[in-house]
Amino acid sequence: MSTASKTAHSLNDLIQIARDGQDFYTDAAPKVKDAELAQLFNKIAATKQNIVDQLSRVVAANGKEPAQHGTLVGSLQEFYGKTRAALGDTQYGYVAELEESEDRLLKAFRETVADADTTPEARRAIETLMPDVVQTHGIMRDRKLAMKRAA
């Protein structure tokens, strides 16, 4: 597999994971009772959309097809989050699962940027987006810990 093909595959993985998060945040926002939390979910969903858009442009610029869907793991995680929220504290259930989604995306970003086969153009795009990924991860981690302490 060529470096360009491997990079496109790696970027498409990131696109899919970011899309999973975007879909999950968008779905969760109207289901939580806390208006501030719903607003946060919508803001992070928009951040995920930006990640999808930016990485899709890099993939397309290299003549490859950007991923159009999320992942099976993401769908299962969203289903689990919905079930967990329905059976217990809705807000904590969503925050806990969304924080797991953030863990998954941050790990994938770090692995891709560290991969020697990632093209310089893709690495620059990832490094540009990394602060948003780190920030949203931190927000959800902190929110989860605060909710856990308050319970």
- In whole angstroms, what is the distance from residue 30 CA to residue 105 CA? 23
Q: Is 63 left (phi over 0), alpha (psi -120 to 50) or beta?
A: left
Backbone dihedral angles phi then psi of residue 115, each to the nearest 5 degrees: -70, 125
Where do the domains of the chain lie, and which CATH numbers do they carry?
Answer: 3-150 (1.20.1260.10)
Residues 6+ apart with CB under 8 A from 100: 77
pLDDT in tens, 121-133: 999 999 999 999 9
pLDDT at 151: 74
Asked if residue 100 lies in contact with residue 80, where contact means CB atoms within 8 angstroms, the answer is no
Using one digit for the tens of pLDDT, what is the confidence trace for 6-32? 888 899 999 999 998 999 899 889 988
Confidence of residue 5 (pLDDT cuts 50, 70, 90): confident
Alpha carbon 136 to chain centroid, angstroms? 9
Q: What is the pLDDT of residues 41-91, one digit of tens each?
A: 999 999 999 999 999 999 999 888 998 876 555 555 555 555 555 545 678
User: What's the pTM?
Assistant: 0.87
